[in-house]
Amino acid sequence: MRDELASPTDLEEGPAPAPVPPGGPEPVLEIRELVVEFATGRGYLPVVGPVDLTLPKGRTLGLVGESGSGKTVTALSVLRLIPMPPGRIPAGRALFEGHDLFSLPEKAMSDIRGRRIAMIFQEPMTSLDPAFTVGAQISEVIRRHKQISRRQAWKEAVDLLGQVGIPSPGRRAGHYPHAFSGGMRQRVMIAMAVSCQPDVLIADEPTTALDVTVQAQILDLLKELQAELGMSMIFVTHDLGVVADICDDVAVMYAGQVVESGPAPDLFERPQHPYTEGLLLSMPRLDGERERMFSIGGVVPPPDRLPAGCRFHPRCPYSIDACTERLPELFPAGGPDRLARCIRSEELELKGTR
Amino acid sequence: MNPPLLEASGLRKRFVSSRNGLGLAREWVHAVNDVSLTIDSGETMGVVGESGSGKSTLGRLLLRLIEPDAGTIRFDGQDLRALRGRRLRQSRADMQMVFQDPYASLDPTKMILDSVGEPLRVHGRTSGRELEAQVLELLEFVGLGEHHLKRYPYEFSGGQRQRIAIARAVALHPRLVVADEPVSALDVSTQSQVINLMLDLQERLGVAYLFISHDLSVVRQISDRISVMYVGRIVESGRSEEVYRAPRHPYTAGLLSAVPIPDPRRQRGRERLVLHGDAPDPSHPPAGCPFHPRCPHAMDICRTETPPLAEVAPGTAAACHLHEHGPRLQGGTVRDLGTPTKRIPEPLGGQR
Amino acid sequence: MSTPSTSSSAPSPTTPVPTSTGSVPPPAPEASPGPMRRFLRRFRRQRLAMIALAFLVVLSVVAALAPVLSPYDPAATDVPRQFTPPGGAFLMGSDDLGRDAFSRLLYGTRISLVAPLIALAVAIGLGVPFGMLAGYVGGWIDWLISRIADTFMSLPAIILAIALVAALGPSTVNAMVALGIVYAPRLLRVVRGAVLVVREETYIEAARSVGLSGPRIMGVHVLPNIVPPIIVQLSLMFGFAVLAEASLSFLGVGVQPPDASWGVLLRRGFVNLYEAPWLIVPPGIAIMLVVLSVQLIGDGLRDSLGQEIRRQ
């Protein structure tokens, strides 16, 4: 595979991420048969589901998909952040530390939010209140979950700001959000999110709106914090490059369901679902050539007009009649911890990055 | 050698960023600061940069959708800045634009037939039945059909709207199309559809592109030559394979390093140069080389003198003192310098 | 990614791209409803507004059929039977000159519904072009037009109308023209505001890049896109104009006798309040109902508007 990016040292492959030891690590979060519906003019319509996901402890799970795949809705539903009308969760469980998050009373849920499971979003401006200094906002989160004095909380907030790479944190803690650039604001949000050392961090496209050089900084920061705090992460994105950079495991979503999952290197090298193959082939690469790109024909079906059988079959170059008959299950395919929602995955040899 | 299709020289544009109590301008943003470039017939020039680089402003300056403060633009040998009124509008038949937001670039009150046919009507090429036939031909060329003619934009997806916008842009068979982030708002699988379409059109019509984007991977797919912009200036330009293979400016190297490759083994094994800090405040750019506060190889001269964009290797230009002053790259790639061991000092970046 | 595919069924990079058909609505109608049609369609679903509209339509029909429906000639006096209470021969009673209040109400509807349209026409004729000019061109033209509009707006509407009528002579048309002049600045503001927003839209920039001239862009691209907020504003203005006409006529500077608008009827009723307290009720209620209907229609229009702005 020709490497266009010069420097022989680039050609060396890095260490593959630590393989999952057989039978473990323990999953810290498990989503089982999640279904999310939204109210439309014609009653409730399922937009996600059923979805099963497993987040092993200490690892990063990438939730990948294009718009309309349901990845953000899935991520928001874990913390029950879906507005309940017009949304609702008629089925499914989110198992965290033996409890089903969906059946917890709201008070218990709000204790978990921020303290045990935290979230960061794409647009920092919408989760930072412009009327308060960043120091005050971080302190507020700390004091919500820990019984410490205001002075103490402020000190911790300043420490956090320094940890996430904001220069002169003592001074900057007294500034308002609008005084920060996009990348800096995202760092502030990350500081807020990790202030109580959560077990799980859910990141919903946190770098999509950032410049690529800033994105690289933020991804490095997240990796550092994860190593330090032993956090597990769910990382929602549409960018396969970001997945390749930061995710240990991947779940690919299409039209509201997971269509493929597994450890990242293996999934990229040997995809087991035609949609994954299509995504990989149609992604422009920095080390690619100037050539016509493959593209997946057609468009993502909206939730109210799903095709019969496999949801991807109208766009799939490998579809056969059997694909229209029934919606396939997620079968084990292609290796340990690999799942794919395709009846032909065994027989097809799909192109990956190898 | 054929004369270039477009020759821009010394372009400058600044915007007011704040005013004093009397309403007089106090601070300026130099969005485009002494930019020169050329585009040959039928080629694709990619312009890459992050936010604040000035690339979008540059695209609009070339079409005179915004008036430059200084500089010259020659299109096909003709001085574009000298045109006024009707002559200027007529010249627009040769240079068209495709915009970033497909949801906003089509008039919602007009049918596709009218939107795509408008350039033809305005420049008096055809009307009535013949117009409809020509519009249909254009639509078919971009992959749409007759049943789309009398529809309104709201019925189309982002990718389709962008194709409609492209059909409109090539309706008059322009010599140059400025595409301002044409695929950034689209999904990955739609992006490649639109890029393929643009490549097809280029083959068919011989149109030249100025392809503006922040996405280096996308630019790679379509550009013959690229220019890298940083805070209003071009810091490097050359044939795209050459720039990607062997960047001659530290910013380019950092930029390339930051773009993740969708291949976990390769991505994690890459030698990376992570640029620290943020892009500078555009109304207070640093003295000397605008990149020096973030540059791992900054020298004393970089703080005081702005490096000119000069040819450092055949066909490649870079605005960096490293080629002339110590360590004296002399046209070699910045990557040869490796990643410095000294800790990059905390920059002032991040402040507004 | 340049290794040729060796597996049996991998798609080649040059597979022709099928036309995406996924999101275009299935078959047949070659044309689809435009934004205006959809706006009206949504409006039709606003219950209260449709009831109000129906009421106004009925009222207009009644006004048109006034000659047929009124039992008496509204100008026919019958002094001996003055101040007859409602009931019997006079459905709503008779006034100080023995004229049938009901007939006068019916005929009055004609004037009270039509006259405000004159005011609206004047307001549109002044407010829309200048508002568009101010909003699109900007600069000192905007400054000048806005300052003039501000000046007119700071004068109390009725006073200005009275002054204008005093200068031009009392008549229905003069009063309505005066009203139109008074309302124009308000409409101008709304138009200018809408133009300022639309001006920044990408499709306007696209129109410039195609080579359209300024005036052409204003007429072809800006105007159709500011119609919805203008319609909303006009519907509200109609209500104000009905009230204003009634007020002016009440004060004696609007509609002149023997023409009878509701405002005139109110006046007669007011003047003869002791002798015939019933006279004041019908016109009062009529005005109230019309203005209320107009408000409801305006609300309905505004609610159907919202979705035009939302994108898919």
Could you tell me the CATH number of the domain that includes residue B130? 3.40.50.300
Of C2, C11, C22, the CB nearest to A299: C22
C13 contacts A2? CB cut-off 8 A: no
Query: How many Cβ atoms sit within 10 Å of the Cβ of residue A231?
Result: 22
Asked if residue A295 and residue A240 are part of one domain, the reply reads: no
Q: How much is the pLDDT for B348?
A: 36
Report whether the peptide linkage leading into residue A50 is cis, meaning its omega lies within 30 degrees of zero.
Answer: yes
- Touching partners of C (3+ C-beta pairs < 8 Å): A, B
Number of Cβ pairs < 8 A linking chain A and chain C: 50
Strand partners, A200: A117, A232
Q: How much is the pLDDT for C30?
A: 57
Q: Is residue A199 part of a domain?
A: yes
- Residues of chain C in contact with residue B122, where contact means CB-CB under 8 angstroms, are 210-212, 216
Q: Is residue B240 part of a domain?
A: no
Asked if residue B190 and residue B319 are part of one domain, the reply reads: no
Asked if residue B273 and residue B140 are part of one domain, the reply reads: no
Q: Is residue B345 part of a domain?
A: no
C21 contacts A349? CB cut-off 8 A: no
Q: What does the pLDDT look like over A166-201, one tens digit per residue?
A: 988 999 999 999 888 888 999 999 999 999 899 999
pLDDT band at C310; cut points 50, 70, 90: very low
C8 contacts A349? CB cut-off 8 A: yes
Q: How do beta strands A99-100 and A87-96 pair? A: antiparallel
Asked if residue A167 and residue A94 are part of one domain, the reply reads: yes
Of C203, C211, C224, the CB nearest to B105: C203
A217 contacts B276? CB cut-off 8 A: yes
CA dihedral for C84, C86, C88, C89, sign (positive or negative)? positive
**Residue at a domain's end among A221, A237, A254:** A254
Q: How do beta strands B6-19 and B70-75 pair? A: antiparallel
Instruction: Check CB contact of B242 with chain A, cutoff 8 Å.
Output: no
Q: How do beta strands B176-180 and B208-213 pair? A: parallel
Of B149, B152, B159, the CB nearest to C20: B159
Q: What is the mean pLDDT of residues C155-170?
A: 79
Of B191, B262, B268, the CB nearest to A285: B262
In CATH, what number is assigned to the domain containing residue A118? 3.40.50.300
CA dihedral for B223, B224, B229, B232, sign (positive or negative)? negative
Q: Which residues contact C263 (CB under 8 A, 6 or more apart)?
A: C112, C245, C246, C247, C248, C249, C250, C254, C255, C283
Q: Report the chain C residue with the minimal C-alpha distance to residue A317.
A: C11
Which residue type, as a one-letter code, is found at position A339? Answer: L
Q: How much is the pLDDT for B1?
A: 56
Q: Is residue A38 part of a domain?
A: yes
Of A289, A298, A302, the CB nearest to C20: A298
C36 contacts B122? CB cut-off 8 A: no
Q: Is residue B312 part of a domain?
A: yes
Query: Lowest-confidence range among A265-279, B29-43, C40-54?
Result: C40-54
Q: Is residue B342 part of a domain?
A: no
What is the phi/psi pair of residue B8, to 5°?
A: -115, 140
CA C312/CA B103 separation, integer angstroms: 8
Q: What is the mean pLDDT of residues A296-320?
A: 88
Q: Report the chain C residue with the minimal C-alpha distance to residue B263.
A: C1
The answer, yes or no, to whether residue C218 has pLDDT greater than 90, is yes
Asked if residue B284 and residue B206 are part of one domain, the reply reads: no
b vs e for C112-135, b when ≥16 Cβ sit within 10 Å of the residue's Cβ? bbebbebbbebbbebbbebbbbbb
**Cα diameter, chain A:** 68
C1 contacts A297? CB cut-off 8 A: no
Asked if residue A244 and residue A186 are part of one domain, the reply reads: yes
Please tell me which residue, A223 or C253, carries the higher pLDDT value: A223
Q: What does the pLDDT look like over B235-253, one tens digit per residue?
A: 999 999 899 989 999 999 9
pLDDT band at C5; cut points 50, 70, 90: very low
ipTM rounded to 2 decimals: 0.84
Asked if residue A246 and residue A288 are part of one domain, the reply reads: no
Taking the CA atoms of chain B, what radius of gyration do you get in angstroms? 22
Q: How much is the pLDDT for B312?
A: 87
- Residues of chain A in contact with residue C11, where contact means CB-CB under 8 angstroms, are 281, 294, 317
Asked if residue A224 and residue A293 are part of one domain, the reply reads: no
Asked if residue B253 and residue B225 are part of one domain, the reply reads: no
CB B258 within 8 A of CB A239: no
Question: Would you state the structure tokens that stand for residue B24, as one six-digit string?
Answer: 């007089």
Q: How much is the pLDDT for C306?
A: 62
Q: What does the pLDDT look like over A117-126, one tens digit per residue?
A: 999 998 877 7
Asked if residue A229 and residue A167 are part of one domain, the reply reads: yes
- In 3D space, the residue among B67, B104, B103, B71 whose CA is nearest the CA of residue B88 turns out to be B67
Q: How do beta strands B70-75 and B233-239 pair? A: unpaired
C35 contacts B149? CB cut-off 8 A: no
CA dihedral for C151, C155, C160, C161, sign (positive or negative)? positive
Which domains does chain C carry?
A: 58-309 (1.10.3720.10)
Of C3, C9, C22, the CB nearest to A298: C22
Asked if residue B316 and residue B227 are part of one domain, the reply reads: no
C308 contacts B168? CB cut-off 8 A: no
Strand partners, A237: A64
Residue with tokens 């874990």: A78
Q: Report the chain C residue with the minimal C-alpha distance to residue A314.
A: C22
Question: Would you state the structure tokens that stand for residue A215, as one six-digit string?
Answer: 């994105």
CB B313 within 8 A of CB B232: no
Number of structural domains chain A divides into: 2
Q: How much is the pLDDT for C249?
A: 86
Query: Lowest-confidence range among A53-57, C26-30, C37-41, C195-199?
Result: C26-30
Distance from B189 to chain C by nearest Cα, in Å? Answer: 11
Q: Is residue B208 part of a domain?
A: yes
Asked if residue A151 and residue A163 are part of one domain, the reply reads: yes
Q: Report the chain B residue with the minimal C-alpha distance to residue A4.
A: B245
b vs e for B21-52, b when ≥16 Cβ sit within 10 Å of the residue's Cβ? eeeeeeeebbbbbbbbbbbbebbbbbbbbbbb
The answer, yes or no, to whether residue C11 has pLDDT greater than 60, is no
The answer, yes or no, to whether residue A318 has pLDDT greater than 70, is yes
Asked if residue A138 and residue A199 are part of one domain, the reply reads: yes
Q: What does the pLDDT look like over B160-197, one tens digit per residue?
A: 999 999 999 999 999 999 999 999 888 887 888 899 99
SS3 B44: strand
Of A285, A317, A349, the CB nearest to C1: A285
Residue with tokens 């009222």: C59
Q: What is the mean pLDDT of residues C284-291?
A: 91
Q: Which residues contact C58 (CB under 8 A, 6 or more apart)?
A: none
Asked if residue A250 and residue A120 are part of one domain, the reply reads: yes
> Which residues form the domain of A287?
257-340
**Residue at a domain's end among A254, A284, A312:** A254
SS3 C75: coil
CA A129/CA B60 separation, integer angstroms: 35
Mutate to test the interface with C, among A269, A277, A295, A345 (most CBs of C within 10 A): A295
Query: How many Cβ atoms sit within 10 Å of the Cβ of residue B137?
Result: 11
CB A73 within 8 A of CB A45: no
Asked if residue B228 and residue B312 are part of one domain, the reply reads: no
Q: What is the mean pLDDT of residues A59-65?
A: 94
Please tell me which residue, C22 or A343, carries the higher pLDDT value: A343
Q: Which residues contact A283 (CB under 8 A, 6 or more apart)?
A: A240, A241, B188, B192, B217, B262
Asked if residue B296 and residue B228 are part of one domain, the reply reads: no
- In 3D space, the residue among C108, C23, C94, C115 whose CA is nearest the CA of residue C66 turns out to be C108
Residue with tokens 């620290």: B276
Asked if residue B178 and residue B257 are part of one domain, the reply reads: no
Which residue type, as a one-letter code, is found at position B235? Answer: V
Q: What is the mean pLDDT of residues C70-77?
A: 81
- In 3D space, the residue among B220, B232, B200 whose CA is nearest the CA of residue B46 turns out to be B220
CB B105 within 8 A of CB B181: no
Asked if residue A293 and residue A234 are part of one domain, the reply reads: no
Q: How much is the pLDDT for A198?
A: 93
Q: Is residue A353 part of a domain?
A: no
Q: How much is the pLDDT for C185?
A: 93
Query: Lowest-confidence range among A9-13, A79-83, B302-306, C273-277?
Result: A9-13
- Mean pLDDT over each residue of chain A, to the nearest integer: 86
Asked if residue A40 and residue A120 are part of one domain, the reply reads: yes
The answer, yes or no, to whether residue A293 has pLDDT greater than 80, is no
Instruction: Check CB contact of C24 with chain B, cutoff 8 Å.
Output: yes
- Touching partners of B (3+ C-beta pairs < 8 Å): A, C
CA distances from C192 to C35, C72, C117, C131, C184 (A): 21, 49, 22, 5, 12
> Which residues form the domain of B19?
6-234
Q: How do beta strands A331-332 and A249-254 pair? A: unpaired
pLDDT band at C9; cut points 50, 70, 90: very low
- Residues of chain B above pLDDT 70, percent: 94
Q: State the number of CA atoms in the 13 A half-sphere of B118 facing the CB.
A: 28
The answer, yes or no, to whether residue A17 has pLDDT greater than 50, is no
Q: Is residue A23 part of a domain?
A: no
Q: What does the pLDDT look like over C93-127, one tens digit per residue?
A: 888 888 888 888 888 898 888 889 999 999 999 99
Of B122, B154, B160, the CB nearest to C20: B160
**Residue at a domain's end among B234, B257, B284:** B234
Q: What does the pLDDT look like over C136-153, one tens digit per residue?
A: 999 999 999 999 999 888
Query: How many Cβ atoms sit within 10 Å of the Cβ of residue A55?
Result: 23
Q: How much is the pLDDT for B84?
A: 84
Strands annotated E in chain B:
6-19, 25-39, 44-48, 70-75, 78-79, 95-98, 176-180, 208-213, 225-230, 233-239, 310-313, 316-318
Query: Lowest-confidence range among A55-59, A184-188, C5-9, C224-228?
Result: C5-9
CA-CA-CA-CA torsion for C137, C141, C143, C149, nearest 10 degrees? -100
Instruction: Check CB contact of A224 with chain B, cutoff 8 Å.
Output: no
CA A264/CA C10 separation, integer angstroms: 21
- Residues of chain C in contact with residue A254, where contact means CB-CB under 8 angstroms, are none
CA A19/CA C96 separation, integer angstroms: 102
Asked if residue B71 and residue B107 are part of one domain, the reply reads: yes
- Residues of chain C in contact with residue B123, where contact means CB-CB under 8 angstroms, are 211
Asked if residue B55 and residue B201 are part of one domain, the reply reads: yes
Q: Is residue B346 part of a domain?
A: no
- In a 10 Å sphere around its CB, with 0-12 CB exposed, 13-18 middle and 19+ buried, how is residue C257 labelled? exposed
Query: Which strands form B25-39's sheet, in the order they lie side by side?
Result: B25-39, B6-19, B70-75, B78-79
Asked if residue B94 and residue B208 are part of one domain, the reply reads: yes
Asked if residue B261 and residue B193 are part of one domain, the reply reads: no
CA B218/CA B191 separation, integer angstroms: 9
Please tell me which residue, C120 or B90, carries the higher pLDDT value: C120
CA B149/CA B129 separation, integer angstroms: 13
- Mean pLDDT over each residue of chain B, to the nearest integer: 87
CA A344/CA A333 separation, integer angstroms: 10
Q: How much is the pLDDT for B278?
A: 80
Asked if residue A167 and residue A95 are part of one domain, the reply reads: yes
**Residue at a domain's end among B203, B234, B265:** B234
- In 3D space, the residue among A196, A201, A226, A204 whose CA is nearest the CA of residue A111 turns out to be A196
Question: Would you state the structure tokens that stand for residue B111, as one six-digit string?
Answer: 């049918």
- Residues of chain C in contact with residue A300, where contact means CB-CB under 8 angstroms, are 22
Q: How much is the pLDDT for C27?
A: 42
Q: What does the pLDDT look like over A100-152, one tens digit per residue?
A: 999 889 898 888 888 899 999 988 777 788 899 999 999 998 998 888 999 99
Q: Is residue A47 part of a domain?
A: yes
Instruction: Check CB contact of B301 with chain A, cutoff 8 Å.
Output: no
- Residues of chain A above pLDDT 90, percent: 51
Number of structural domains chain B divides into: 2
Please tell me which residue, A41 or B68, carries the higher pLDDT value: B68
CB B38 within 8 A of CB B219: no
The answer, yes or no, to whether residue C3 has pLDDT greater than 80, is no
Please tell me which residue, B131 or A7, carries the higher pLDDT value: B131
Q: How much is the pLDDT for C55?
A: 93
Please tell me which residue, B278 or A28, carries the higher pLDDT value: A28
Q: Report the chain C residue with the minimal C-alpha distance to residue A294.
A: C13
